[in-house]
Amino acid sequence: MRKKILKTTAAAVLLALTMCSCQKAPEASADEEILHAKDSLEDEIAGIVEADGGETGGEYTEEEGTGGAGTAGGPEPGNGDLGMELFGGQDAIDCLIGTEENGIRIQDPVVQAPEGVYHMVLGENTSMDKELLKAFLDSDSGEIQDLSEQEAQELAQERNEDPEAWVDMPMFGTGPLYVLTDGTKRASFDRGTYAYYKDQALRDRCAAIFQLENETRFGENELADAAAGSAGFSIQDAVSMLLEKLGTLQVTEIHVSEVYMYESGDFMFYEIYYMPSWEGMGTVHDFGSVSFGEHFPFCQAWVCSEGVAEVFLDTSAAEVIQKERCEGVLTWEQVTQLLETYLADGRIHGSSKAALTDVELAYYPFLSEDEKELELVPVWQLQVPLAVHIEDSTMSEEFGTKGAAWNICIDAVTGELLRVR
């Protein structure tokens, strides 16, 4: 069954951010002026994109041998030769794009470059049947109940009894719901793209200290140097344990965006937020809110030294049905030129007083109308994590009240501005 755990500290802020931080391009007073402005901007963008794109700038090359589970076979995230070339050899970024009055300040101390950049299409994972679910449950007792039909009927009944309480948000995949339990552990597959697991005993122990709200946050750039808790159980240990669990679903790579450590006495656990990942590139994240029809993967896990207490996978278990290597991927130098263009045109409003801290290549998802496929388009994403800027008074002022951009996505092949928050 679908489950989403949201932090109450951020929930109250999301609506305000949605209301005040969405940006709209300035409108011209007449159709003719709009067309001229559009043509001029498109020409300028095309000039930047084609400048260093080579003979195949802006194209995709289909690779053979695609298929299989979404993250199977990919190497560990790292700084590949291609990725470092795109970043111009930089392993950190500290710059101001634009002007002090209207600019984008970027301070990313750790550049994470991918091994390869692709255009992909995901579909339902046809191997997600009850036999695989049984392996994912990994029961200790062997006495397993199949609740699939019962829970499907209960869900349908709830919808029929109070249809107005349900909002039919688009969901990736159309496969059946499978649910198994042994009384202590519970696992489910849904739509051929979602998976959920819970060890009730471990989760209860984690929940007891989660309620204390005594947490320590580790951002993406802090994960490698994060120290172990008092129990001698590190973030790296927790991620390895999580990957071992996900290996049952042929998921061998994830992109961790942030981790929260909860500790009380001699017991601790990590709350891990992560995304699907392919050869060092995860999906875009941390928008704070989404519009109807959009689908951004959300994955979360609770892991303690005794095992995985809970895990939710959204899209990670999907199957790659089409994969094309991108040629002519925009370099960081080209991206800075595009940002200057969008700043001058007014499509982006920046702030030199508050810095964006994360720059990375990531995948932007587009859900098909029939909800059976999810297209992944590579983008350059520049952002400051939502959990960071809502706690910082200067950032809250610049990104919230004044409406400066705090999350930007630019198509890594065409240069199109896909999203600004």
Bridge partners of 332, per DSSP, are none
CA distance 388 to 395: 8
Question: Quick one: pLDDT at residue 20?
Answer: 35
Residue 212 burial (C-beta neighbours within 10 Å; 0-12, 13-18, 19+)? exposed
CA distance 233 to 239: 11
Kind of pairing, strands 103-108 and 307-314? unpaired
Question: Quick one: pLDDT at residue 82?
Answer: 63
- Residue 338's pLDDT band, with cuts at 50, 70 and 90, is very high
Question: Quick one: pLDDT at residue 56?
Answer: 35
Question: Quick one: pLDDT at residue 316?
Answer: 79
| Two structure tokens written together for 274 | 């992560």
Q: Which residues of 108-119 are buried (b: 16+ CB within 10 A; e: fewer)?
A: bebbbbbbbbbb
Task: Indicate the angle between helix axes 332-345 and 31-51, nearest 10 degrees.
Answer: 170
Strands (E), 285-416: 299-304, 307-314, 319-327, 351-356, 358-367, 374-383, 407-411
Other C-beta atoms lying within 10 Å of the C-beta of residue 216: 14
Bridge partners of 411, per DSSP, are 379
- Residue 206's pLDDT band, with cuts at 50, 70 and 90, is very high
Model pTM above 0.85: no
Mean pLDDT (the chain, rounded): 81
Question: Quick one: pLDDT at residue 150?
Answer: 95
| Two structure tokens written together for 413 | 């092949």
Q: State yes or no: pLDDT of 296 exceeds 80.
A: yes
Side-chain half-sphere CA neighbours of 384 within 13 A: 24
Weakest mean pLDDT among 212-221, 232-241, 334-343? 212-221
Q: Check residue 101 and give left, alpha or beta (phi > 0: left; psi -120 to 50: alpha).
A: alpha
pLDDT tens readout for residues 382-406: 998 887 878 788 887 888 778 889 9
Per the listing, tokens 């071992």 go with 244
Mean pLDDT throughout 334-343?
Answer: 96
The order of strands in the sheet holding 351-356 is 93-98, 103-108, 351-356
Mean pLDDT throughout 71-81?
Answer: 41
pLDDT tens readout for residues 5-55: 334 333 333 323 332 333 434 444 445 554 545 668 888 898 999 986 433
| Two structure tokens written together for 144 | 């397993």
- Residue 65's pLDDT band, with cuts at 50, 70 and 90, is very low
